[in-house]
Structures are given as C-alpha cells and as structure tokens.
Structure 1
C-alpha cells in the first residue's frame, strides 16, 4: 500500500497561526470578563459605602416658620348685670303681701312686698308710753331744779341740795333722750315692713311668699328678692399674662353667645384689675356691653374676641407644636443651617393654639425648622434636610 504524502511546510505554518490567534482571542475575552467582574464589584462596593455613609446621616423634614398677623384674641367670658342687689328684710314678721315675681320690671322705690310686724308694733306702743313717762319726769325735774335755784339765790337752801336737783334734771333728760331714740328705732323698723326696690331693674329671684316667716337681717337665708339692672352688662374676661401689655383703654371687642347663633355684639374695655391672679396667671378685664334691647342675659357665657393692636404680635412666628423640644434647659427648636448642621435655639411660647404655637425669640423667618425632631438630636449634628417642593 503506498504511503500518504507529508503536508507542505506552508500549510503547517498557517495552522500554527490560527491556533495562536484563537489563543490570543480566548485570553482577551477572559481578561475582559475578569475586568468587567472586578469593575462591577468595585462599583457595588462604592455604592455600599455611599449607602452606609448616607444611612449614618439622618434625614429630617424642615419647614419655614409662618408669620403671625394681627388677629383677635379669642377668650371665654362671663356676662353679669351692671348692678345687682339682694333684698333682705330689716324687720321680723310675716309676709302679708307680695306684689312682684321673677321677670317683673320695677322702678327704684317701688313696693315689692309688705311684712306684718305685730310684735314690733307692740314694742313701739310700749316705747311710746315709756317716752311719755320720761318726758313727764324730765319736765317735773326741770321745774324742781328751777325752784331750788331761786331758793339758793336767797340762801334758803344749801348749794349742795341745789346741785342735786340739777343733777337729777340731767339724768331725767338723758332718760328722755334714750326713750325717744327707742321710739324712733321702732318706727324705722315698722317702716322697713314695706320692702322697696333699691333701684330700677328686673326681679331675677324671689325667695319668699305670702305667709312666710321673716327674720330680721337674716343674710344666711335666701334674699326676699334680687334686683338686677340689665340695661348695661359687665363682661368679664381673664387675659393671659403674655397679652397683658396689649390691654389698654380704647380696646374694643366683639363676642357671641349661644342663644343668638351667628350674631355678634360689641363691647368696650372700661376697667382692668391691673394685677395678675396667682393661680391662673391671668388678669381680669371688664368690658361694658349696652343692652337696651334686653337681648343678653346676666350670668351667660360668651366667646369674646379682643381686637389687639398690631404691636401685640410683633416678633412672633408660628410653628407646628411637633417642632418643639422640651428639655431641662427650656423650650427649644432645632434649626438647620446652610451646611446642614443642627443648631438648637431656645424660644418662648406666646400663644398655644393646639396644633400650632406662636413663639417669641430665637428663630428667624428665613430659618429652616426641623419638624418632629428626634429626642437625641444635638447641636452640631449633620442631617439631610427634606425641604418642601414649594
């Protein structure tokens, strides 16, 4: 069998080149795969480091403080009559007539009731008789003293006897004056049997009726009547200490009452207590309310709006109540500066509106205030502020 021919040298060289080329391509592909794998791992590690660093800086929500415009100060108030007087009996007896009842309009000096006073009348009769006796004794003593004085001038009687007669006259005159004063007192008590209105107004209470036993000057029991002058009313309001400086003469107010929904009434400041109550930390303020139409009733509750001057809210800013930080150093607010660093600033609460607060000092209108800061936040902490889009 004949032998196969051997390959030519050129053919062998071409085959070696193809193998080398394939080897180079394989190594290149392998190097690219390794490089891509290393680069991907580097990027992942870099992202992990960035994420870890970002997680170490807390994210906070920030807001701008709001401006506080001049506004009415709304407070609860209480209406009272301009004048109110409980009427008591000044003499003891039984009520014989009652001429008025609650709700009646009366004039000053008008008869309200009559009291039957038989005991006082008997005492007056006895005092009148005692006065007549004292008068007769005084007149007799006066004539006797006159006669003894004439006899003394002629030296018929001693000076001692004359002085005794004059002394007896002085005693009789004093007894007469005492008896006369007792008669006048009892007559005055009988005059009090007619119960009169002290001033014009409305009968707002009645504590007696016909046949009732009356004790003289018994202020521990309910009054016979209560008279209230409601042509004007006093409106009392307690103003918090933070607003006391804004209260002054000329201040006006408006208020509403539950019995007249949707309607407001005007009032004007007339007096202040000019002192703070220790327990409530507020100052009592009195306003005058005209009530000629008799629409308002004394003793009623009112929702009062005091029209404070613009200076009352100067320097105040409004923030959410959730922005406050309460610590031993005082009430504070956390602010973020341009370098995203935290600064803790002390503030003073001017007015508590529930969900919002008006504050004084420490914060500017252009500051970014952290809303709902954590309890662990401190001065100099770095944060990532989430500012509102607007």
Structure 2
C-alpha cells in the first residue's frame, strides 16, 4: 500500500532549439555571355518608286519586273505633245525678246553718239532709250529662263535608274497615260540587304562581340548567312519596348530576297561583369523581388532586379558586392534578422 502511495517525480529539462542552417553561395562577378535567337526581316539597301514628274503617254518602256539595271540606265520614255508646243512657243518668245533688245540697244547707241554733237538730241531722250534697253534686256533673260524651265520638264519625260538594282514592279505599258498619281516602276538595290532585328529593351545594354551574327531563312533550311552590325536606332519603340538593330548582309549572289523573314542567332555579352545565382535564390512576391543575404549570421532581404537567364542561373542586380553570402534556396518564410548558419558548398 505504501508503495502505491509513492509518487514518482520525473525531472524535465527544457530544450533550446539552435539556429537553422541553410546552403549558401558566395557571389562572384562573372562575365556574362548568352546566345539568343530573335526574329528578323530582310530589307533592300535602297528602294524607290519611279513616278512621271510631268503627265504624258508612255512611248517606250524597255524594262519589266526582274530586269537588272545599272545606274543611269533608260527605264521609260514618255510623250507630252502639249509640252513640245510650249517649248516651241517659248523658243519663239526668246527670239522676239532678243530682237526687241537688239533694236533698243542699237537705238540707245545711236542717240548716245548723236548726243556728243551740237545738242541735236536731248539728255532726256538718251535716258529714255537706256531704260528701254534695260527693260528689253530683262525681258530677253526672262524668256530664256522660261525656255530653260520647259526644256527641263521635257527632260523629265525620260526616266532613268537612280541606282543599280532590279525592277520589282511595273504598272504601265506603252500607250498608257501616266502622271504623279501612281508610280510607273518600283526598283530595289538588293545586292546588299539590311537585316533588321527588334532587340528587347533588357538586352540593349549588351555588346555584340565582333559585331556579327548568323541567321537562317526558310528558303534555305540549315544554311547559315552572316551579317555585320552597321547601326542602331538609338531609341526604344514605345509599343514593343525594343530597339532596332540593323545588320549589313552581302547578297552578291542574289540568293536572299528582300522581305524574307529570318531567324537570327547572336551572342550578346554584358559590358561589365554580373552576379549569377540559381533561380531558387530569387524570391518574387506581389510586392517585391529579393534575395536573402547573410550578414554576421543573420538574414537580410535585399531587393534585386532580374536580368538574363544564363544556363541554370539568372543575373541579379542590386546593392550587392562580391563575396556576399546568399541563400541558395530562399522563400518568404525566412524572415529578416533571423539567425542562420551558412552551409557552404
């Protein structure tokens, strides 16, 4: 009975839980280079629509679509009968003005000579003759300018190629009445092409080593073509948030066509080293994007922005320094200022 009445006393010792541990990485600045693929489009080096500057009928047009032409080669000859009549009239006006000027010039010379005598001619008469001679001289110059203008318009009836290229469109045949309302011909210089690529804003700060790229087109599967970076638009399109990069493509063999779509592959590199971390180290919430850094054994949330993905890592930018210790796998449940033991790999 006495044994039943005994009460056994059990001593309990409180346990203290130590700080958590987590795998970490040490930030190292690295040169970042990434191969990307972007859609592109080929454009001719030059493209022009040929209009008839003065209305007329097509007399002759010796080229058609696909015709390769050299600089200054004849493209079309027009007829404008009313313009020829105006030129003939202007030529007659020049001859009339010249005769009038010669008569007044001769009269002024005679009066000026007679004035040297015993006053047979008054000074007033000599002055009137001089003024008339000047007026007739101006009329002759004006008539010549009008004739020159009409002859220049006649020259517009002969259309010539402004550069070497190929005719890609023809809209009229001999006998057709043409004017400035629609182009008569369209031609392109496709011996050299422009490859234009819309580069996303996030990549516009990157550099292109050797300023070259390779691209493919559907017409030649598996065949690589090359282009050299020639210029950038230096502005971001508001709608697409991209910058246009233009590459020069040699097309001497004529394989490529303007208007083709291409798949461009280029390796872009950051101008300065960047920090790379695993995607698991970056926490993205509705309010912020951050990584967790260990400072003196305690956690710290550091806001970052994310750059390119390179292999199995991503770029991060923020108030970071080389040698910082960052959690390899971070989440929102790890609060700031929490003790943490770093397990380095």
Kindly indicate whether the alpha-carbon contact (under 8 Å) linking 1:204 and 1:226 is maintained by their aligned counterparts in 2. Answer: yes
Alignment of 1:168-317 (within 5 A): 168-215=132-179, 218=180, 221-247=181-207, 250-273=210-233, 275-277=234-236, 279=238, 282-309=242-269, 312=271, 314-317=273-276
Q: How much is the aligned-residue C-alpha RMSD, in angstroms?
A: 4.1
Alignment of 1:144-183 (within 5 A): 144-154=107-117, 155-183=119-147
1:156 shift after superposition: 1.6
Aligned to 1:89: 52
**Alpha-carbon deviations, 1:106-144, whole Å to 9, x = none?**
111111112121111111121112112111111111111
| Aligned residue among 316, 319, 333 for 1:359 | 316
| Aligned residue among 323, 332, 345 for 2:290 | 332
Shift in alpha-carbon separation, 1:188–1:240, aligned structure 2, 3 A = same
Q: Which has the higher contact order (CA 8 A, sep 6+)?
A: 2
Shift in alpha-carbon separation, 1:153–1:317, aligned structure 2, 3 A = same
Kindly indicate whether the alpha-carbon contact (under 8 Å) linking 1:138 and 1:169 is maintained by their aligned counterparts in 2. Answer: yes
Q: C-alpha separation between the residues in 1 aligned to 2:88 and 2:281?
A: 82
Shift in alpha-carbon separation, 1:345–1:369, aligned structure 2, 3 A = farther
Aligned to 1:369: 328
Q: Provide the TM-score with structure 2 as the length reference.
A: 0.79
Aligned to 2:336: 379
| Aligned residue among 14, 18, 34 for 1:71 | 34
Alignment of 1:23-102 (within 5 A): 69-102=32-65
Stretches of structure 1 that go unaligned for 5 or more consecutive residues are 1-22
Shift in alpha-carbon separation, 1:224–1:365, aligned structure 2, 3 A = farther
Kindly indicate whether the alpha-carbon contact (under 8 Å) linking 1:105 and 1:201 is maintained by their aligned counterparts in 2. Answer: yes
Q: C-alpha separation between the residues in 2 aligned to 1:384 and 1:295?
A: 63
1:201 shift after superposition: 0.4
More strand by share: 2
Kindly indicate whether the alpha-carbon contact (under 8 Å) linking 1:243 and 1:312 is maintained by their aligned counterparts in 2. Answer: no
1:196 shift after superposition: 0.9
* Residue range with higher mean Cα deviation, 166-175 or 90-99: 90-99
**Alpha-carbon deviations, 1:269-304, whole Å to 9, x = none?**
22334x333625554433221111111122333332
Aligned to 1:107: 70
Q: C-alpha separation between the residues in 2 aligned to 1:149 and 1:247?
A: 82
Q: C-alpha separation between the residues in 2 aligned to 1:93 and 1:68?
A: 65
Kindly indicate whether the alpha-carbon contact (under 8 Å) linking 2:292 and 2:326 is maintained by their aligned counterparts in 1. Answer: no
Q: Which has the larger radius of gyration?
A: 1
Q: C-alpha separation between the residues in 2 aligned to 1:337 and 1:251?
A: 42
Matched residue of 2:33: which SS?
Answer: coil
Aligned to 1:349: 306
Stretches of structure 2 that go unaligned for 5 or more consecutive residues are none
Q: C-alpha separation between the residues in 1 aligned to 2:131 and 2:106?
A: 13
1:68 shift after superposition: 7.2
Shift in alpha-carbon separation, 1:342–1:259, aligned structure 2, 3 A = farther
Kindly indicate whether the alpha-carbon contact (under 8 Å) linking 2:281 and 2:291 is maintained by their aligned counterparts in 1. Answer: no
**Alpha-carbon deviations, 1:356-388, whole Å to 9, x = none?**
7432344879633336x34x6642357999x9x
Aligned to 2:279: 320
Q: C-alpha separation between the residues in 1 aligned to 2:125 and 2:94?
A: 27
